[in-house]
Amino acid sequence: MSRRKSPLSLSEARRVALGAQGFDRPRPSRAVGLADLRRVFARLGHLQFDSVNVVARAHHQVLFSRLGAFDLALLDALVARGEVTEQWAHEACFVPMSTWPLLAHRREEFQVRPRHFDAFLRQHPGYLDEILAAVERRGALTADELHVPEGAARRLENSWFGTAPRAALETLFGRGNLVIAGRRKGLVRVYDLPTRVVPAHLRETTVSRHEAERALLDQAGRAHGVATAADLADYFRMSRDAARPRLAELVEAGRLHEVDVEGFREPAYLHAEARVPRRIAAQALLSPFDPVVRFRPRTRRLFAFDYRFEIFIPDENRKWGTYVLPFLLGDRLVARADLKADRDAGKLRILAAHRELGPGLPADAVIAEALAAELGALATWMGLEVAVPGRRARGAFARPLASVLRR
């Protein structure tokens, strides 16, 4: 069994983790192209999709954090070229098309969503077949282009899917009978047959569940660099019990090396391709769904950063704000800012700013200058201007940040 003899310091572990996520290199100084997006997908393995547009869409912001300003059409182009598709991976994600065979067992086990839609399907047992036949006959379709059974209500109560056609399409998508062929205005999903989207060699590739789980965990290891079993299992939403024997196989194969990390309560795994960068010179606001901060126990372990996403919490109970983005400077999470894109006014508004406290963190002035610069870059990419936080802005760091922004 492979085990690294010397333990990793916490600083080394942070640098390994951030390097694996692509923060070990500067953002491109030239125009970002398809090759840059391919590189991010190769590192991360998936890009979690989220439609919330309080600042920028999560999947777009993860790319911006690593690449800087880029044309949103580039991601659409990867989808149109058949290099990237959507699947349930961590959650709803963009994944390289090559991942399709590895998620077959997920499609086989897919549960109807929402759960009460099961009753609808029992009442109308031929509905899914009718939807599938309509797509086969008419080509790629959206939910709005499909009917409901006679006498059935189109809208589904208490469901974010909204309508019966949408829920039916999502069920067929989850099972692999349909795939997402692209999106129309407003991020509306377009559904088509796998035979018209997924290359034949991938559709015909059969991978056992154990092989698939091992490959997904290997990808999780590459994306994390160094991680615990819980971190690795969460990356593709796998149970720890299912992950542990596969991790042992990866250790035996030399793909992972067991290692002790300063401050970790359990052993970690260092990926065979991981490197320890001498330094990380990152400067990025991170989406709440960025892999660096998405699994909160890992964020606390690596960065001593207690992150809570409070968008669904009543305002009076929020500690940090509605849509708070952690700020990465070097290899530390040094601040957090509650932001809102006011597109009507053309402003990126700062509703709150908080500075982290702890040993080894930069001075206030250094953090304020760097955060102001990153806010400016983010706003410019979004076609907005940064609004200087006013008196109502929350957080003790709002004032020093405002002073820098006024200059």
- Report DSSP state, residue 358: -
Residues 27/32/38/43 CA torsion (nearest 10 deg): 10
pLDDT of residue 131: 96
Q: What is the pLDDT of residues 333-351, one digit of tens each?
A: 999 999 999 999 999 999 9
For residues 92-110, give the mean pLDDT: 97
**Alpha carbons 75 and 18: distance in angstroms, whole number:** 23
For the chain, the average pLDDT equals: 94
Residues 319/320/321/323 CA torsion (nearest 10 deg): -130
For residues 191-209, give the mean pLDDT: 97
pLDDT of residue 197: 97
- Name the 3-class secondary structure at 148: coil
Within 8 A by CB and 6+ apart from 35, the residues are none
Within 8 A by CB and 6+ apart from 302, the residues are 10, 13, 14, 17
Q: What is the pLDDT of residues 120-172, one digit of tens each?
A: 999 999 999 999 999 999 999 999 999 998 888 898 877 667 899 999 999 99
Residue 225 token pair: 């660099």
pLDDT of residue 367: 98
For residues 281-299, give the mean pLDDT: 97
DSSP secondary structure string for all residues of 155-182: BPTT-TT-BHHHHHHHHHHHHTSSEEEE
| Least confident segment among 76-80, 150-154, 208-212, 234-238 | 150-154
The yes-or-no verdict on residue 3 having pLDDT over 70 is no
**Alpha carbons 85 and 114: distance in angstroms, whole number:** 23
pLDDT band at 1 (very low <50, low <70, confident <90, very high): very low
What is the 3-state secondary structure of 57-121?
Answer: CHHHHHHHHHHCCCCCHHHHHHHHCCCEEEEECCCEEEEEHHHHHHHHHHHHCCCCCCCCHHHHH
**Beta-strand relationship, 385-386 and 347-355:** parallel
In this prediction, what percent of the chain has a pLDDT beyond 90? 86
Count the residues in the chain. 407
Sign of the alpha-carbon torsion through 162, 192, 77, 61 = positive
Q: What is the pLDDT of residues 240-259, one digit of tens each?
A: 999 999 999 999 999 999 99
Burial code of 267-288, b = ≥16 C-beta within 10 A, e = fewer? ebbbbeebebbeebebbbbbbb
**Beta-strand relationship, 47-48 and 385-386:** unpaired
For residues 294-313, give the mean pLDDT: 93
Burial code of 76-107, b = ≥16 C-beta within 10 A, e = fewer? eebbeeeebbbbbbbebbbbbbebbbbbbebe
For residues 233-241, give the mean pLDDT: 97
